[in-house]
Amino acid sequence: MTGHSVLDTDILVIGSGPGGSVAATKFAEAGRSVLMVEEGEHLPLDATPHFSCEEMLHKYRSAGVGVALGKRKLAWVEGSCVGGGSEVNRGLYHRTPPYVLERWARDYGVVDLSPGEMTQHFEACEAVATVQHMPGKPSESSQALERGATKKGWTAIAAPRLYRYDTADGRGSKQSMSATFVPRFKELGGNLLADVRIQRLRRTNRTWEASGVRTSGAQKTQITIRADTVFVACGAVQTPALLRRSGIRHNVGNSLRFHPMLKIIAEFDHEVNAPGDFDPVHQIKEFEPRFGMGCSIAKPPLLAMLQAARPGNWTSIERDWRRMGIYYVQTSGGRATVRNLPGFASPLVRIHFTPEELSTLADGLRHLADVLLAAGSVRLRPCIAGYPDLDRQTGLAGLPEALEAPDGSLTSVHVFSSCPMGEDRARTATDSFGKVHGTDGLYICDASLLCTPTIANPQGTVMAVAHRNALVALDRKFG
Amino acid sequence: MARMVETTVIALVDSLIDEAGIPATAAQRAHAAGYVLETIARMPDHFGLGFRALALLFSWSSVARYGRRFHLLANDQRHEQLRAWRGSGLSFRRSMLAFYDAFATFGVYSAAYRDTDTPRP
């Protein structure tokens, strides 16, 4: 470690994902001095191919290795670069389902959060980060899921994406934070520092001091940032870890939630998966909020990884990958805690599932298999070691009533709820607008605030809640 | 110590690729091993410590049976040890191999299928 730099700013935003970028931009628009720091690298959106090794190493936290420990482990991934998760996700977009907002108001005492009140915030974010439906036909793998749902009489939709389709052939540009809010923030005079990890917050003489490390190549420099107001937006795992390291623990890191996901590789008798296909967009909504279903990108490396160690994998994928699609079912089960370990930088996450939650996952898997067979799949490969292949002859026989998943079967790409907001202090870490209980000038503005899983893709909710909370903080002069 | 871990991981990834019957080139194998090593370097530090310790345990556990560390074994001996750990009653052994299976597979297929990385829509 060489050197020590000290910076001053009115407002410090820690984290540049959808929550941090939206809030920082609102503060810059209001003419405030804002510094946004990001632990990860600042890379162009197209710096690495999507779902590649390079992307995993440079844009994901911990190279994509996140494991919640417990009797049933869960592996999750998070973005860690300027733009956060918006850089690596598929940008599928939903406004928060009204029943989710109503539940947060009812169970956590969140005020001013009705669907009507949130509309202006969704619209404001969508004016900067464009949300559009694909103009042409989605991939065949996506359409197959829709056909299966139609045969079963289930509700399915083609989800819009944070994407701007520019031309008649459907090409265009992804509307990640690095392509939308971050440039706007900088144009407005906001300052952005990448490669800065904040390790601790300290309150002295009515000022917050954020201390950490800045990395530049092999060189590491100590950094201290002094700010009147701090917004923590490090994501639902790192935000509680930072707050707990800083001695702030009330309802912090006790209620982390995921969208646990199981996958099936479905083989068809015709091509469903071709290089250059549009991202799949269909989702089955029939059974939400219990579980939802959808279709993933199915490049050969992902197909192979999901069935690693399966005999004959190479030959099978080489011969058949264009006839294979990856489909998922996701629930909202499992509750986890985030704790720091003495001597280690990374927090420990522990998760627990109830028997009912494991049954719901198993039921969801059966429904997913059912709809894929209805869609015309000739063979299903559940991505759970020890589970049998299924086809029209076997039907769903062989799928257990409760999930019996070994390590690596349960995954998630959505994390939230580790520091819920609301007026019920017994259940929440912040007030209804992200101000941390019992502190001055300290706010949370990321997915940690969402009281429960959103059921739908959460990025739209994170952005709109950050927009709402930033406006309230400005209106209240951060008091 | 770091060199010992690296040697073991390279040999382990190579053996997993052989075991899976993947006709990978030397460059593709090197890409996969490099990717796995980089992943271990970047994973949460408490896991990283455990993985390095497990790599050493894996390497030395073949000494009792074969008299040599893993990377010095013949191919059939390596595959025998992989089978033993995969079928072990100790869950950490199975979990470790599940990790290497997944990440080595992703690494070698990414190298082999690089041409399917067409521009995304």
The domain locations on chain B are 6-115
The better pLDDT of the pair A440, A408 is held by A440
Task: Pick A133-174+260-412's CATH classification: 3.40.50, 3.30.410, 3.30.310, 1.10.3470.
Answer: 3.30.410
Average pLDDT in chain A = 95
Q: Which sequence spans correspond to the domains of chain A?
A: 1-55+81-129+175-252+418-479, 133-174+260-412
Reply yes or no on whether the pLDDT at B36 is more than 70: yes
DSSP A194-225: -SEEEEEEEEETTEEEEEEEEEETTEEEEEEE
Q: What is the largest CA-CA distance in chain B?
A: 54
Pick from A257, A427, A287: which is nearest to A353 by CA? A257
Give residue B118's pLDDT: 43
pLDDT band per the 50, 70, 90 thresholds, residue A223 = very high
Same-fold call for A1-55+81-129+175-252+418-479 versus A133-174+260-412: no
A75 in B contact zone (CB under 8 Å)? no
Rounded to whole angstroms, the Cα distance separating B40 from A194 reads: 23
Contact present, A174 and A208 (Cβ < 8 Å): no
Which residues from B are below 8 Å from A170, CB to CB?
121
Rounded to whole angstroms, the Cα distance separating A63 from A84 reads: 13
Q: Tell me the pLDDT tens digit for each residue of A90-115.
A: 999 999 999 999 999 999 999 999 99
B93 in A contact zone (CB under 8 Å)? no
pLDDT band per the 50, 70, 90 thresholds, residue A406 = low
Contact flag A309-B101 (C-beta cutoff 8 Å): yes
Number of helical (H) and strand (E) elements in chain B, helices listed first: 5, 0
ipTM confidence? 0.93
Residues in chain B: 121
Task: Pick A1-55+81-129+175-252+418-479's CATH classification: 3.50.50.60, 3.40.640.10, 3.40.50.10240, 3.30.70.120.
Answer: 3.50.50.60
Mutate to test the interface with B, among A263, A305, A319, A320 (most CBs of B within 10 A): A305
Pick from A82, A319, A275: which is nearest to A178 by CA? A82
Distance from CA of A350 to the nearest CA of B (A): 14
Distance from CA of A408 to the nearest CA of B (A): 8
Residues with Cβ < 8 Å from B2, sequence gap 6 or more?
A: none
Contact present, B10 and B33 (Cβ < 8 Å): yes
Rounded to whole angstroms, the Cα distance separating A11 from A346 reads: 26
Pick from A200, A240, A231, A207: which is nearest to A418 by CA? A240
